[in-house]
Amino acid sequence: RAALRVHPDRAEPAARDEATRRFQVLGRAYAVLSDAERRAVYDEQGTVQEEDEGEELRAERDWQEHWRLLFKKITIKDIEDFEKAYKDSEEELDDIKAAYVDFEGDMDKIMESVLCAEYADEPRIRKIIQGAIDSGELPAYKAFVKESKQKMNARKRRAEKEAREAEKTREELGLGDDESDLKALIQSRNKDRQKEMDNFLVQLEAKYGSNSKKGGKKTPAKKGKK
């Protein structure tokens, strides 16, 4: 979690040197603590050998490779398994309520914020929110209860356009539905996927990377102004 927060690729240009230094320190700590012999020395003496420091902090180190050693590669199956476990869970329920309060009922922003949310999930998400409003758990924000048909239709059109573009890309590349074809599609759109993953990591960091209770979950939704 700490590595996610200070990864140099996510830092502003002016802060990249400091982020790199912090990331290197984390790499050094992980390298020592994940090695049984070196950890035993540290536990006993409370120090790290100087040669270890030079090895772990050398400037020419391939930090991308080191990052991969710290965290396993995320596969399509990993994402699918996470989505299955996440949807309709208590965690998702808390996230939906928190997003509703954070964005004061703006469904555009709620749908963008909740993990794994697709347009097809909107009726389910709206039902969850409406149930919480009816029970008095959530405030009835005007942006939600009186959302215009025009705004709803605009959101639907955007989702349909994205679906058409995805299907068109598949057709242009001659891709089918098996796993190898899916991998080829991901590789061909690497830049877009990288941007999506960055946004995903930002959301994960916001959920799990803070010092708040329950691993950084958003605080329970509180009643706000109507």
Residue 134 has pLDDT above 90, yes or no: yes
Residue 106 lies in a domain: yes
Mean pLDDT taken over the chain: 76
Residue 223 lies in a domain: no
Residue 178 has pLDDT above 90, yes or no: no
Residue 56 lies in a domain: no
| Count of domains for the chain | 3
| Residue 170 sits in the same domain as residue 143 | no
Residue 99 has pLDDT above 90, yes or no: yes
Whole-number Å distance between alpha carbons of 98 and 100: 5
pLDDT tens, 39-83?
877 777 777 665 444 454 454 556 666 666 666 667 778 888 999
SS3 state of residue 112:
helix
Q: Determine the structural domain holding residue 156 and report its residue range.
A: 149-201
| Residue 116 sits in the same domain as residue 154 | no
Residue 181 lies in a domain: yes
| Residue 134 sits in the same domain as residue 179 | no
| Residue 92 sits in the same domain as residue 143 | yes
| Residue 154 sits in the same domain as residue 128 | no
Helices (H) and strands (E) in the chain, counts: 14, 0
Whole-number Å distance between alpha carbons of 140 and 163: 32
